[in-house]
Structure 1
Amino acid sequence: MNWLTARQGYFIYNFINLNIGSIVIVPKAQVFSVYRVIETPEVFSSTKTNVDEKYDIGFMVKVELLYEDVSRYDYLDSTLNSKLKFRGTNLVFNDEDTKLIERMITSVENKTPIDDFSETKKSILREINQYITSIGHDKFERLIVSYLKHIGADKVVIPSKKDKGNNDARADIDVKAAFNKLGIVIYVQAKCHNGTSDTTGIQQLLAYESEVDDDFKLLVPVKWFITSGELVNNYEDHLPEVYKAKADELKYIKIINGTDFAELLFDSGFVFDSKIYKK
């Protein structure tokens, strides 16, 4: 075996030491395939492979295909991608690499690319939600004001509780936001609750039918109910009969619970700092 150099011997040694269950990654241009070893390595057999003996490849091992032509860009981090550029016959990964490979296989299995930050986002949303449940009603209103300004409102106000105009005494709006180019005004009823909100805020929105501020009178009203908690389940069933009669209007009220609002803040790129509470 004068042809067998130390380098080639190393590659053969790696090959014949594959075990049943070993993972084999075969790199290609821009993609890679993943196999699992299902038999122990053995000397090449033309009988078993139906390959002519003149193509004797020395040793062989039976594998099963797990994933074929997986995108390197989507599923390999820089460490694995760099190692798969190795030009030798084979390469044995260390324990740290093995952990990366296990995570990669899980990602491929779940179809979650390496740049999928969904779990990170979920963690951030939980923190935002926990924060907004703790700030109290006044700051919660100011936070909503800052958010509406952030997404482009032309004018945002916290209206007086005293001036209800021709509206029912039950009527109440915590925040108004004018979007002149859209021709709408968003009426917000806000509840800072750590738990379940009842239908009081919904009733207050339904009772607000007549605009008292000239700056908003020509705009089409859009009603939002924002709670830092959760609105009671099947809230329509909990409404007094007088408000159940407003079913057509009820279905157009946008319900935003704590996790919804946290996501709106996050997705808009909202920046939390002390300025958001300045009046």
Structure 2
Amino acid sequence: MYLLHRIYNQTSAAMQIRLLEEENKLSIGYAAFVLAGEGDTLIGHARTMAKADFAVYFAALGHKMGLPWATRTRSHWLYYFLQLESNDTVVVPTHTGFAIYRVTGAPEVVPTVAREHDVGFTVPVKLLVNDPKGAVGAALTDAMRFRGTDLMLSGQATQDIDGLVAGQDTTVPEPAAAAVAAVQETLQGLHPAQFTEIVGRYLRAMGADEVRYPAADPNEDETPVDILGVFRNVGAVILVHAQQYSGTVPEAGIQELVGFQYTTFEGYDAMAVIKWFVTTGHFPEDEDEAVGYVQENRVQVFQDTDLAKRLVISGVDLNFAKA
């Protein structure tokens, strides 16, 4: 398995970093389950149950224990962590870049740590590569846009990781400025429905098995989610709110993003939810509250020419059949 593991826990991040640096152990929260004596049971179920079944069990156990945060979505991150085994590879983003580790053992409960910190499980690892700056391919870069705790990687992203471990340069040349400018102009001139379709095409190019357009579907309830992409091979679904602007994103657009934070769809309980806000405009530079809001809630923002650059790199077709 290739896993993206993000240390993101405001109450225990310092301990998680210490465990990694001093004891060569990756860790994850969920200490409440370990303190209740359920840790080993969760490890066993994660290794034998399908992800959807584990999600149901986890949520039911959390409800029984009075843990409102123990949702099915939260189970996904723990599920992948508890499935780690020797020789698996883990990518850990850091403040300066990222590091790559090889797993050297099996996950275990750490009740002594759990009594003092929100750290319930650890797994032993060995550092392979630390902060390989300037050598990251587009596939791995896109994967690291995921803001949740754990995401299973596949396809080109895993090849990029193997290349980095072998000391290879996996970078993709920066697209020509003229090409990006031309695509940006095209995007801003499209009909809104065509713009959302282009984003959908990009999700397809990334490997989405299914792409839907909920906001334009009369059978869906009103929603700010314009595009939904399903990636079954990694167990994730990307929800996208897309807006066309040629300047500063207005307050109304930011308010739509607020609603986007809490949008969910039935049928994807067994998948990790990734949220994107895509605009050809940009956030106001002095709007610290808006920028801080999306960062705090783990929404990945594509603004200005971000989308145009990725369309150039991926070679997505921008043409539409004439009526």
Normalised by the length of structure 1, the TM-score is: 0.46
Q: Which has the higher contact order (CA 8 A, sep 6+)?
A: 2
Normalised by the length of structure 2, the TM-score is: 0.40
